[in-house]
């Protein structure tokens, strides 16, 4: 099997883009990725685009063909990938496998979502489809409610506090201040989080990721060819995926994400490394409790110790394991684009081009993308050549 590397990256600013359309966003990110890769459109052999709910958000389906059209890439094969909030990560894995198998040498992968063209209630319904519609959403269990159940279970079993969860949000905003493409450039305090309104107890407004517009893209290439094209290709040394039950009620535990743990263990084995070898991680923190569940599931900290680790500053920039230097999902979560943006951030970190948020001596990085309340987990491990 062949090796795969990232040779080009692109990302829009995340936020409320009233002035830009869905197709303009993906064109902006895609063109930036192609230009940074140093390739031409004719060099790209296939395209995979992640988008979770474009039909509900903007009334547009058939996204693969739309992206190819907007980037002038016709007549290559173009495929839309949907896997809830893990749509971007799954698109990246699809492109990775297409090159790994020998089918293609150069592939474009993108993710895009335009979420602010509908009201908050409509957006919540669209996002709710990532859970079990029949047993959860139909009965009023929105995603804040589902993650609140996990948060409450973690608090009960391990003594995790609302203040520790708030610290996840505080850290995310602090990192986001250093990222010109994050949605928020405003630091917050634990007191700010604790004073914000409850959405679903114990989760408050500032424990939750926002509604976001944005797009991101990467260009993948077979590694030997990449070395001839790119000055500093970033190799993908592991790509794994795992699943769990869609409904929380069917799971063995509410205090862990089994799919995350399975994907992480498989990724470490595939890459021939351990959790301690990861220098920087972009993980899926759609809610503050998701941050804590992730750092435990990815084996950076023992189960039940995640909240304390955050409290002790062990996940801050240039600490024991720097988490979400980009600001993470808390500073922008256009669901179909998130998994690709994570890969963009890790690539910048390994290239040493992350500017003020640069993690010192980063050589191995991880991107962790979750679908729904943990029914899907995608893990990629990247390495600096």
Q: In whole angstroms, what is the distance from residue 148 CA to residue 288 CA?
A: 10
How high is the pLDDT of residue 385?
Answer: 82
Catalytic residue selected from 17, 284, 333, 368: 333
254 in the same domain as 112: no
Number of separate domains in the chain: 2
From the candidates 85, 168, 208, 230, which is the catalytic residue?
85
DSSP character for 199?
Answer: E
> CB 17: neighbour CB atoms within 10 A?
22
Please give the structure tokens belonging to residue 8. Answer: 């080009």
57 with 155, same domain: the answer is no
* Catalytic residue check, 85: yes
**Strand locations in the chain (E):** 4-11, 46-50, 77-81, 106-114, 198-200, 203-204, 213-222, 234-243, 280-282, 364-371, 376-384
pLDDT at 208: 98
Q: Which two tokens stand for residue 233?
A: 């290709």
Same domain, residue pair 104 and 169: no
Residues 174, 278: one domain? yes
Average pLDDT over residues 197-219: 98
What's the order of all strands across the beta sheet hosting 106-114? Answer: 77-81, 46-50, 106-114, 213-222, 4-11, 234-243, 376-384, 364-371, 280-282
> Does the structure show a pLDDT above 80 at 382?
yes
Say if residue 309 is in the same domain as residue 354. yes
Pair 127, 261 in one domain? yes
Q: What pLDDT is stored for residue 137 in this prediction?
A: 85
pLDDT at 301: 98
Check residue 349 and give its pLDDT: 98
pLDDT digits (tens, 9 = 90+) for 270-322: 999 999 999 999 999 999 999 999 999 999 999 999 999 999 999 999 999 99
Q: Give me the mean pLDDT over the 162-183 stretch.
A: 98
**Higher per-residue pLDDT: 303 or 125:** 303
What would the pLDDT profile of 69-105 be if each residue is shown by its tens digit? 999 999 999 999 999 999 999 999 999 999 999 999 9
- The predicted pLDDT at position 220 comes to 98
pLDDT of residue 336: 98
Element (DSSP H or E) covering residue 338: helix 335-351
C-alpha to C-alpha distance for 101 and 78, rounded to whole angstroms = 17
Does residue 165 share a domain with residue 104?
no
pLDDT digits (tens, 9 = 90+) for 222-235: 999 999 999 899 99
Q: Is the pLDDT of residue 138 over 90?
A: no
pTM equals 0.97
> pLDDT at position 187, please?
96
Verify that 13 and 152 share a domain, yes or no.
no
| 257-269: pLDDT as tens digits | 999 999 999 999 9
Residues 111 and 253 in one domain: no
**Residue 51's domain is classified under what CATH number?**
3.40.47.10
Contact 367, 380 (CB under 8 A): yes
Mean confidence (pLDDT) of the chain: 97
* Poorest-pLDDT segment among 89-98, 137-146, 245-254: 137-146
Distance CA 372, CA 150 (A): 13
- Residues 82-92: tens digit of each pLDDT: 999 999 999 99
113 shares its domain with 126: no
CA 361 to chain centre: 23
Owning domain of residue 346? 120-209+236-384
Q: Are residues 95 and 202 in the same domain?
A: no
Query: Do 242 and 224 sit in the same domain of this protein?
Result: no
């Amino acid at each position: 099997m062949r090796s795969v590397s990232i040779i080009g990256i692109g990302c829009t600013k995340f936020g409320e883009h009233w002035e830009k359309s869905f197709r303009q966003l993906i064109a902006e990110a895609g063109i930036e990725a192609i230009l940074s890769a140093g390739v031409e459109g004719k060099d790209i052999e296939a395209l995979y685009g992640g988008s979770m709910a474009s039909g509900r958000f903007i009334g547009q389906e058939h996204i693969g063909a739309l992206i190819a059209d907007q980037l002038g890439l016709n007549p290559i094969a173009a495929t839309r990938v949907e896997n809830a909030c893990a749509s971007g990560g799954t698109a990246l894995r699809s492109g990775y496998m297409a090159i790994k198998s020998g089918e293609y040498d150069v592939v474009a992968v993108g993710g895009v979502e335009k979420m602010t063209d509908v009201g908050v209630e409509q957006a919540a319904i669209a996002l709710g489809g990532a859970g079990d519609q029949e047993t959860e959403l139909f009965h009023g269990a929105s995603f804040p409610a589902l993650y609140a159940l996990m948060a409450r279970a973690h608090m009960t079993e391990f003594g995790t506090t609302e203040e520790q969860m708030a610290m996840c949000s505080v850290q995310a905003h602090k990192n986001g201040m250093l990222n010109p493409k994050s949605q928020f450039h405003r630091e917050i305090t634990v007191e700010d989080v604790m004073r914000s309104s409850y959405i679903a107890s114990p989760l408050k407004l500032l424990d939750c990721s926002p509604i976001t517009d944005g797009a991101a893209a990467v260009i993948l290439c077979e590694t030997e060819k990449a070395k001839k094209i790119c000055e500093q290709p970033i190799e993908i040394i592991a790509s794994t995926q795992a699943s769990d039950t869609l409904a929380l009620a069917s799971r063995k535990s509410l205090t862990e994400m089994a799919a995350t743990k399975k994907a992480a263990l498989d990724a470490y084995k595939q890459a021939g490394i351990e959790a301690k070898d990861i220098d920087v991680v972009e993980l899926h923190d759609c809610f503050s409790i998701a941050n804590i569940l992730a750092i435990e599931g990815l084996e950076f900290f023992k189960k039940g110790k995640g909240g304390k680790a955050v409290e002790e500053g062990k996940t801050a920039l240039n600490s024991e394991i720097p988490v979400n230097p980009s600001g993470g999902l808390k500073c922008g979560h256009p669901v179909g684009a998130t998994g690709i943006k994570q890969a963009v951030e890790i690539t910048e970190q390994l290239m040493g081009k992350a500017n003020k948020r640069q993690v010192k001596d980063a050589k191995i990085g991880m991107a962790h993308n979750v679908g729904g309340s943990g029914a899907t987990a995608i893990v990629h491990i990247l390495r600096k050549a």
